[in-house]
């Protein structure tokens, strides 16, 4: 693994854009009604980021989740040398 390795890929960027397509209507005040599955997924993301669930509405939760997802996807992976494979002779 190189020092410049990054978890950001076309597929992760596409996944983020797909999530935005589902949930961004909440931020635009379009009166979006989420499916039960989309509500469950949104709450799961909120739990992953330790966001309050009881008091927050769906739009507020998505606003916070969206920011955190974007930050996570934009941050390059900080690879350390010990992440690499051992030399075969040293490992033996």
Residue 74 has pLDDT above 80, yes or no: no
| Domain housing 48 | 10-77
Domain count, the chain: 1
In a domain, 59, yes or no: yes
Token pair of 58, please? 């769906």
In a domain, 52, yes or no: yes
Yes or no: say if 23 and 38 are a contact pair by the CB < 8 Å rule: yes
Q: What is the pLDDT of residues 19-53, one digit of tens each?
A: 999 999 999 887 889 999 999 999 999 999 998 77
Longest CA–CA span in the chain (Å) reads: 63
In a domain, 29, yes or no: yes
pLDDT for 54 equals 75
Nearest-angstrom CA–CA distance, 12 and 10: 6
- pLDDT averaged over every residue in the chain: 78
Nearest-angstrom CA–CA distance, 7 and 78: 10
Residue 1 has pLDDT above 50, yes or no: no
């Amino acid at each position: 693994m190189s020092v410049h390795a990054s978890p950001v890929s076309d597929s992760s960027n596409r996944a983020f854009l797909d999530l935005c397509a589902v949930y961004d209507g909440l931020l635009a005040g379009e009166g979006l009604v989420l499916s039960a599955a989309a509500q469950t997924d949104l709450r799961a993301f909120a739990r992953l980021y330790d966001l309050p669930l009881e008091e927050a509405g769906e739009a507020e939760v998505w606003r916070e989740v969206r920011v955190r997802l974007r930050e996570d996807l934009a941050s390059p992976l900080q690879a350390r040398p010990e992440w690499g494979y051992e030399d075969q002779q040293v490992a033996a």
